[in-house]
Structure 1
Amino acid sequence: MNQKTIAFYLPQFHPIKENNNWWGKGFTEWTNVSQARPRFAGHNQPQIPADLGFYDLRLNEVRNEQAALAKEYGIYGFCYYHYWFNGHMLLERPFNEVLKGSEPNFPFCLCWANENWTRAWDGLDRQILIQQNYNKEDSENHIQWFIETFHDSRYIKIDGRPLLLIYRCDHIPDIEEMILSWRKAVQKAGFPDLYLVAVKNGFIEIEDEDIISTGFNAIVDFQPDRRDFPSPRSAQEWLYRFARRVLPEWLYQRIKLSISMNNVVDYRAMVNAIMQKSWPKDYRKYPCVFPSWDNSPRRKSATIIQNDNPMLYGKWLKHAITDIQSYPDSERLIFINAWNEWAEGCHLEPDQKHGHAFLEQTRDAIRTQPSKE
């Protein structure tokens, strides 16, 4: 295996006091998943977990089973979402318990999900439940917390440099200064440097070259990204895209909250278009593939990219592996969205409809080694 395949991992599957207060006692991601219903003929909802059931991530047995299953099918490690709000962390228990113990013996890294928490689940600045505030003192405290984590032997490193992702680089003021400060702190702690990766999702409008110039080592082409959606095939799709393009964001979101306006995207067409894109060789950009996508359990107006053919996903993953073969061996990374985003219909974990089919395609793609360009 000459690349590392890393799956994003959501730690939302256990109750916390904040969610109890915001959403009702006992709320977890399973609350939305179990209440989902089909919105049109052939819509694959609800999506019910198979092998692992409706698990609770406070249990060590569950976390060990997840890691064993991921390892069996060729996943190199998990990228845990990390929620930090000026020293206050959310959903931290599963990862902290992994960190404190020796199990699971499975590689991991972190992605700082630095968005406001809102009632809309999308990080936009309205109905804020807990807010990100950036300042120098907090930045210094945060990197010291990261450094303690980096010392774990399971933490994924690129030539000795801890791999750290930031979800919204566009939200951080004076980011060049922060990155320089973090690099100095990491080097002082005995590491060669920090391997910092920007997650370029559909909300980030900054050009790749400008992101790299701020001090990032690489970019993740986070998918699904609305900029890669194929041309609309129905009047409803056209209306959805048109409204998003011409309306102010606040008005567009308000309309979405008041009416049900599903954006149904063709997975095959989207994947085919992405595979036609040329991949940069003069800077590091890591592919991110997803098996399927459906956030209707979370949203009244949903984006649905249903994929009932696991082989299409496998084809995309093989292609993505080929894209990075010109990179140095240590920097061949592939990201998968996601291991367990159940409320966004985006999971490698087996469900009752597809079973292990997506995991099998993952393993087959990883085993098929392309030749280096």
Structure 2
Amino acid sequence: MAREKQRRVSGRLPAPRKAVEPTGSPGQFRATTSDAEMLFRLTRAEQPGFDDVASVRVTLKIRAIEGHIEAPSLLIDWGDGLALATPVALKRLGEDAYVVVAHTNAGALSQIVLRPSAAPCLFELTAFQVEPAAEPAPGAPRLSAPRRLLRAALRGLSPGAARAIRISLRTLRDPKSTIRLARQTIRNRRLDPWRESYQHAFNVARHAFSPHYAAPALNPPPRADDAPRVLAFYLPQYHPFPENDQWWGKGFTEWTNVSKATPQFVGHYQPRLPGELGFYDLRVPEVLQAQARMARNAGVDAFCFHYYWFGGKRLLERPLDAFVADPEIDLPFALCWANENWTRRWDGDESDVLMAQDHSPEDDLALLDDLARYMASPRYVRVGGKPLLIVYRPDTLPDAAATLERWRKRARELGIGELFILCTNAFGFSAYRDAGFDGLVEFPPHALQKGEITDTVERLNLDFAGRVYDYDAVVEERIEALERRADPRIYPGVMPSWDNEARKPGCGNIFHNATPQRFHDWAGAALDCTTRLAPPDERLVFVNAWNEWGEGTYLEPDRWFGHASAQALRNAVARRAPAPARDHPAVVVSHQSPRLHDAVMLFHIFYADLIDDLAQRLATLRDGMDAIITFPEQWPATAVDALATAVPGAVLVPLPNHGRDVVPFLTALEIARARGHTVFCKAHTKKSPHRSDGAAWRDRLLDGLMSPERAQAALAAFAEDPRLGLLAPENARMLYSDPGVMTHNSEGVDYLSRYLNFRYSPDTAFPAGTMFWGRIAAFEALVGHALTFEPELGRVDGTLAHAFERIVGCLVETAGFRVRWSL
């Protein structure tokens, strides 16, 4: 009897798996399609109780709130995987109660999928119980001693090996059944790719976003005076002009290609649709101004415009001229001559030339004469005092050395002075010194040949004739090459992604699985390389590109990733900046401040422009609380001085911009513990630029936590109740089952639950914004932690810091303290 009770599993509902959305009310869910699913998986602790069980009973209570419960069923995985499981219908016991008894003669119970209804509905699931069946199901053999031994042996193998052995044994017992299941699996897999591609498109349409989605940066990154300059190539083909109207149809722009792209294989990210800038028109001045602001905040120091010159004929010049003439734009710029023929290659026809180059000595001089007006701009990029000019295709020049000599001579005659002329490594060019260039610019994806995975992707278009490469493998190879490089005149080039399917339907080159994190790593290696090799004024890194949407490489925001690529570049620049606040005298002096009160304010201020707001909020609390203030170590001395003046007597702790407000909290918590404090209030500045109500949300959270009346009530509550561990306002309380709360955070919360040894459920509550009052003793589980947080890439959700926000209530209750929502 005791053994049966130990085996029983009850009181734990399955989790939404597919097309099931929590409503926010306990136990209530909405099945949005006829194939909605919820997943129940045995934990490691529960698994041994079912290892020698041949039959299980599943009992549940489920009722429809809207619609009807139709044909509920289960899929039971006995260790072979769900793909080989067949649906088992649930039998009605009574009103809202269902049961099924299922059996196996091999394997061990692993997981159960509940299909709550064959029709969409709103339902309430109040009980889900799994237990060994008191009597075997009709016809179910009892497990023999050899089978029990076999199960024990399989538990010692890896899951893949155990599953392979089970399938082999099943095949020997019933080959026809196994073949039937295999055929069904193959059919399902043929359907699933299309469903997956549709689901992604649908998610974008309903404004869902990637776990990597990032908010916009609000200001330029900090950097050293001698830091490398970052130049992003810029495509000006986002406005109609007569030649394109003639060649491609009335109103053609780059967006025409971008908007019609389709995925060619499973997981292929297409179409790529623009974010907040929309399908912009470069004839609109506000667009250019917004791009320049975004670029500055992303760590881009200049745009390098593609310059189109064909024997005296200019194309796409309008955006460039508007950019140079606009007094509202202060971003520098340079030019790259796109000196190749304009062809119909987007249609796959390389031979049909629409506008040809016409190289001649006279054309060389005419081109330089036209460039001179741009080089005269005070915003034009100079290297060592020389205007920068880049040639895209040096191999197409009849005599590159002669052309360059004519340009240099003409520039001196015009009073421009010496030129700094670079070429790219497009189409394999590398002999830049022999041709007379001052250096070579890497222009990825040219010269990238590693990591082809074309044969491994699951095609949606069976006629796909392009090539697919693994972005991660490419980045790994490029980082190693940058670390080995010895030539300071080979300037690193990076790309956040690449996919020219929009321009070459069905035959594009695609660098698959590009992530902001790996782009961040590549950009960082490029910055380190040029810093190591080149003198300060010649430290350059190039990004392909700012806005090459038709080739799937851009720093501008899109609908799925937001500002993730721009934030990745920004962080790569910022994390290499000096940290003047570390040794600031005011910081050193602050650590000598005496402990005056038992309670302490742990406040992280990221934005220096909110110092006055912080000072006003803390002024009314300082009679009863000390303060430990954390802030970015890259703040300039003036900001540290302002903070020390605004909050006298506070302990000041400069830290790297890492782990959002959580790493600062963990650091300040250790300091508070060492100083003998017992109660704290944890808060931080927020701007939440991805939200239209970001500032108002911050004020609501802080006012509900730090007003004099709330602070007095909080201190009284902790004094009255020694087991009170966490206190927060009711309006800050959120549940795991609330919509969107766990969408991108399940993995992080699960990791933390195993690392910090706590349990959670859909009813678990946490304080929104990670702002609350707490008792230090309730957070002992965090002492000596070794949590590793991701680089700060501006993500709005899904980081370990977001997961930590959700677990503070669990930590307190696991430690034996109470959580209260009545401040």
Q: Does the TM-score normalized on the shorter chain lie above 0.5?
A: yes
**Given residue 285 of structure 1, which amino acid in structure 2 is its aligned partner?**
I
**Given residue 320 of structure 1, which amino acid in structure 2 is its aligned partner?**
A
**Given residue 480 of structure 2, which amino acid in structure 1 is its aligned partner?**
Q
- CA change 1:215–1:124 in 2 (3 A) is farther
Pick from 545, 550, 554: which aligns with 1:338? Answer: 545
What is the CA RMSD across the aligned residues, in angstroms?
Answer: 1.9
Identify the residue that residue 195 of structure 1 maps to in structure 2: 420
Identify the residue that residue 269 of structure 2 maps to in structure 1: 44
- CA change 1:149–1:234 in 2 (3 A) is closer
Identify the residue that residue 232 of structure 1 maps to in structure 2: 452
Does 2:569 align with 1:348? no
- CA change 1:172–1:234 in 2 (3 A) is closer
Identify the residue that residue 515 of structure 2 maps to in structure 1: 309
Per-residue Cα deviation, 1:171-212 (whole angstroms, up to 9, x for no partner): 0012111111111111222334100000112x13x4x3x321
Identify the residue that residue 438 of structure 2 maps to in structure 1: 217
Structure 2: how far apart are the matches of 1:233 and 1:310?
A: 20
Shift, 1:72, TM fit: 1.2
Shift, 1:84, TM fit: 0.1
Does 2:285 align with 1:60? yes
Checking the alignment, whether the CA contact within 8 Å between 1:321 and 1:370 is kept in structure 2 is no
Identify the residue that residue 250 of structure 1 maps to in structure 2: none
**Given residue 411 of structure 2, which amino acid in structure 1 is its aligned partner?**
V
Structure 1: how far apart are the matches of 2:253 and 2:473?
A: 33
Q: Map of 1:75-154 to 2, 5 A cutoff?
A: 75-121=300-346, 126-154=351-379
Identify the residue that residue 567 of structure 2 maps to in structure 1: 360
- CA change 1:330–1:270 in 2 (3 A) is same
Structure 1: how far apart are the matches of 2:562 and 2:439?
A: 34
Checking the alignment, whether the CA contact within 8 Å between 1:158 and 1:195 is kept in structure 2 is yes
Q: Secondary structure at the match of 2:351?
A: coil
**Given residue 567 of structure 2, which amino acid in structure 1 is its aligned partner?**
E
Q: Secondary structure at the match of 1:277?
A: helix
Structure 2: how far apart are the matches of 1:349 and 1:152?
A: 26
Q: Map of 1:147-162 to 2, 5 A cutoff?
A: 147-162=372-387
Does 2:404 align with 1:179? yes
Per-residue Cα deviation, 1:319-357 (whole angstroms, up to 9, x for no partner): 111111120000000000100000111110000000011
Structure 2: how far apart are the matches of 1:31 and 1:125?
A: 20
Checking the alignment, whether the CA contact within 8 Å between 2:451 and 2:471 is kept in structure 1 is no
Shift, 1:280, TM fit: 4.0
Checking the alignment, whether the CA contact within 8 Å between 2:364 and 2:403 is kept in structure 1 is yes
Structure 1: how far apart are the matches of 2:572 and 2:370?
A: 36
Does 2:544 align with 1:323? no
Structure 1: how far apart are the matches of 2:510 and 2:373?
A: 39
Structure 2: how far apart are the matches of 1:236 and 1:282?
A: 36
**Given residue 293 of structure 2, which amino acid in structure 1 is its aligned partner?**
A
Checking the alignment, whether the CA contact within 8 Å between 1:55 and 1:62 is kept in structure 2 is yes
Structure 2: how far apart are the matches of 1:167 and 1:191?
A: 22
Structure 1: how far apart are the matches of 2:250 and 2:454?
A: 40
Identify the residue that residue 13 of structure 1 maps to in structure 2: 238
| Unaligned stretches of 5+ residues in structure 2 | 1-222, 458-462, 579-823
**Given residue 302 of structure 1, which amino acid in structure 2 is its aligned partner?**
G
Shift, 1:107, TM fit: 0.3
**Given residue 486 of structure 2, which amino acid in structure 1 is its aligned partner?**
K
Identify the residue that residue 3 of structure 1 maps to in structure 2: 228
Identify the residue that residue 489 of structure 2 maps to in structure 1: 284
Checking the alignment, whether the CA contact within 8 Å between 2:450 and 2:474 is kept in structure 1 is yes
Per-residue Cα deviation, 1:218-271 (whole angstroms, up to 9, x for no partner): 10111012x42224345489xxxxxxxxxxxxxxxxxxxxx6302110000011
What is the identity percentage for the equivalent residue pairs of Structure 1 and Structure 2?
Answer: 41
- CA change 1:199–1:87 in 2 (3 A) is same
Checking the alignment, whether the CA contact within 8 Å between 2:275 and 2:557 is kept in structure 1 is yes
The number of residue pairs the alignment matches comes to 345
Structure 2: how far apart are the matches of 1:191 and 1:214?
A: 22
- CA change 1:17–1:236 in 2 (3 A) is farther
- CA change 1:124–1:173 in 2 (3 A) is farther
- CA change 1:199–1:234 in 2 (3 A) is closer
- CA change 1:337–1:307 in 2 (3 A) is farther
Q: Secondary structure at the match of 2:294?
A: helix
Q: Map of 1:245-284 to 2, 5 A cutoff?
A: 260-278=464-482, 279-284=484-489
Larger radius of gyration: 2
Structure 1: how far apart are the matches of 2:341 and 2:444?
A: 20
